[in-house]
Amino acid sequence: MATDKSGGPPVEPAVAQVIPIKGWRRIMAERMAQSHAEHAQVTQMREVDVEALVQLRQSRFAPAASAGTRVTYTHLLVAALARALKEHPLVNSCIVGEEIHVYADVNVAMAVALPDGALVAPVIRNVDRKTVAQVAAEATELAEKARARRLRPDDLAGGTITLTNAGMYGTDFVTPLISAGQNAALGVGKIVAKPVVRDGAIVIRPRMGLSLAYDHRVLTGAVAAQMFQTLQTIVEDPSGLE
């Protein structure tokens, strides 16, 4: 609050616009406050080498775009995350009262930004049982429905973990908030060519920033790091993604 140098009352800044907090803004505000209130959230970050992921997308999945299904890095990461969770099921869980409920299904909520600034997270169900092409087709359909305001309540329910990709906006790292009914969220940054040391030589490699937010009441740093390491291994050697 600015103060008048003459000793008078504080000088308030001029207001250019008043935006009511209602509709989707109220829903988002309530959910964000709920996330902070309900989770003991901490975040781990790491850079991963995505040269193999880039090559995989270009060689195996780019041709599919001509058939109408465009596979993005988000789709590949959704599939990779689901596979990592199958090896570390405790991350795919929630707290219910005095119990930790470990989910049998891996349902990834994929954050989608709408033109007016609203953010929704439609859910891709049973990702661990689907091919990358199936994930891409379902994710594309859900994103189109979101932008057309045609999502049904069922499309937004049942997520067990959330993935948000801020890399498309030039962000290096993002710390996502954990959604209600979940214990973790993955944030994705942009791909950047960086110099790294390989076999004693400096080479240029594409790198991506990942952020794993998790509820420390359920997951210790070691458990979260183990899942994060598995995810990194899958991303850096994605040959098993089909």
- pLDDT above 60 for 92: yes
> How many Cα atoms occupy the beta-carbon half-sphere of 175 within 13 Å?
10
The pLDDT of residue 1: 54
The pLDDT of residue 91: 98
**32 within a domain of the structure (yes/no):** no
CA distance 207 to 163: 18
**223 within a domain of the structure (yes/no):** yes
**Catalytic choice (36, 75, 101, 216):** 216
- Kindly report the number of other CB atoms within 10 A of residue 160's CB atom: 27
Q: What is the CATH number of the domain that holds 78?
A: 3.30.559.10
**130 within a domain of the structure (yes/no):** yes
The pLDDT of residue 67: 61
Is 75 one of the annotated active-site residues of the chain? no
With 0.75 as the threshold, say if the pTM is over it. yes
Domain count, the chain: 1
- pLDDT above 90 for 38: no
**21 within a domain of the structure (yes/no):** no
CA distance 143 to 97: 33
Domain containing residue 125: 40-240
State which amino acid sits at residue 20: P
Per residue in 176-215, pLDDT tens?
A: 999 989 999 999 999 999 999 989 999 999 999 999 999 9
Q: How confident is the model at residue 11 (pLDDT cuts 50, 70, 90)?
A: confident
